[in-house]
Amino acid sequence: MISVSEALKIIFDNIPVLETEITTLENSAGRILAQDLISDIAMPPFDRSAMDGFAVRGFSEEYKLMDEIPAGIQPPPIPEDGMAAPIMTGAPVPEGADRVVMVEKTSVTGDLLTVNQDTVIGANICWKAEDVKKGQIVLEKGTLITPAEIGIAAMAGMETLPVFRKPVISVLTTGSEIIPPVHIPQPGQVRNANGVLISSFLSMAGFAAVKVFHSADDPDSLTNAVTQALSISDILVTAGGVSMGTHDFVPSVLEELGFHFHFRTVAQKPGKPFSFATNSAGKIMFGLPGNPVSVLVGLEMYVLASLRAFAGHKKFLRKELTGRLTDSLKKKPGRLNYLRTFAEYTESGWIISIPSSSGSGDLQSTRGTNSLSWLSSESTGASSGDLIPFTLMSWAGGQSCWK
């Protein structure tokens, strides 16, 4: 049984080489840039006015007005001191002008301008290349593309962008006792919560599953389901069937299909029977336990980080915070304990509270929580007021969860 840190290292060491593709700017939101983006022009490309006002030259009691300068033209120069031209926001500042004065600080009588409150040389001018120089990197490889980045790419002359290909994911739930949610359970049966739990989690994180499969605890059924899933996806996320029981056939079926298991258990609670396997074709399998809370822990702490790395994110490691515990709890040494918790930021820092129930099958206990805290494998517990590490759940912290 390996440690959590060892498991993460093994996973990241075995993420396959990323593939890239080209997409249009309109379809690039949420993708990851696959190479540095260099601007072919300076930004701004010329000295431009930062506001509506008057481009003036020199200092005088009155200024003789020239023709207005709208945006989109190359204006004539201002030939001498004591002259000014009305100018629109974004318009090129004419040669000879040394500042732009806001409309609100002036008055106009006929063709003469009076500056009621003057400003310093260079005021209200956005100088050529003050934001970006020609040939400068404006977006770095690994950047998450948001509307702001799309706008920058357009300003840099791009119509398409090279992005990392998104991983294609299938989900497989297992168990002969598992029935669809719409059915009434008979004795010994359980409704399938894990299928929609996993697919909705992945969707919220930006990695929608292409299909959700289910298989009974039967080698032939499992082989058929796994084969179908792998034929349409890069990554297979399974729930159930990965422990050491006589009906846990997932590992043996995957091995028969050419997968190598890098590990099958991790020293953690909940989620000890968590497995990771790859094959020579670059396919990946994450084997989660069947208990829903264990599924959530595995998705948050392993699967999502791996998907981010696979997809080219620069930030795919969980950001660790610390909070002061409001409760006391005991634990046995030997395994790292994950706790679903509620983290609240106060003037004195983060405060961590724990729900009353902590069973790995009690999905109700996750409601109202927004974080996962943990106690190390050596720990025997914690007291009220102790500082403990935690990370915000992905849906609660967004991009701030990652470093």
Q: Which of 3.80.10.10, 3.40.980.10, 3.40.109.10, 3.40.190.10 would CATH assign to domain 4-19+167-310?
A: 3.40.980.10
Q: What amino acid occupies position 229?
A: A
Quote the DSSP letter at residue 301.
Answer: I
Q: What is the pLDDT of residue 258?
A: 97
- pTM of structure: 0.84
Domain 48-126 and domain 321-401, same fold? Reply is no
Q: What is the pLDDT of residue 358?
A: 57
Q: Which of 3.40.50.300, 2.40.340.10, 2.40.50.150, 3.40.50.11810 would CATH assign to domain 321-401?
A: 2.40.340.10
Q: What is the pLDDT of residue 34?
A: 96
Tokens matching residue 43: 């930004």
Instruction: Single out the residue of 258, 263, 250, 312 nearest to residue 281, CA to CA.
Output: 258
Q: What amino acid occupies position 188?
A: G
CATH code: domain 28-42+137-164 is 3.90.105.10
The top-level CATH class assigned to 48-126 is mainly beta
DSSP states of 341-353: EEEEEETTEEEEE
Q: What is the pLDDT of residue 126?
A: 97
Per-residue pLDDT of the chain (403 residues; tens, 9 = 90+): 899 999 999 999 999 877 899 999 999 999 999 999 999 999 999 999 999 999 999 999 999 999 999 999 999 999 999 999 999 999 999 999 999 999 999 999 999 999 999 999 999 999 999 999 999 999 999 999 999 999 999 999 999 999 999 999 999 999 999 999 999 999 999 999 999 999 999 999 999 999 999 999 999 999 999 999 999 999 999 999 887 677 789 999 999 999 999 999 999 999 999 999 999 999 999 999 999 999 999 999 999 999 999 999 989 999 999 999 999 999 999 999 999 999 999 999 999 999 876 555 578 888 889 999 999 999 999 999 999 999 999 999 998 999 9
Residues 207 and 308: beta-carbon distance below 8 Å: no
Dihedrals phi, psi of 396, to nearest 5 degrees: -90, -35
Domain boundaries, the chain: 4-19+167-310, 28-42+137-164, 48-126, 321-401
Tell me the C-alpha distance between 373 and 6, whole Å.
Answer: 19
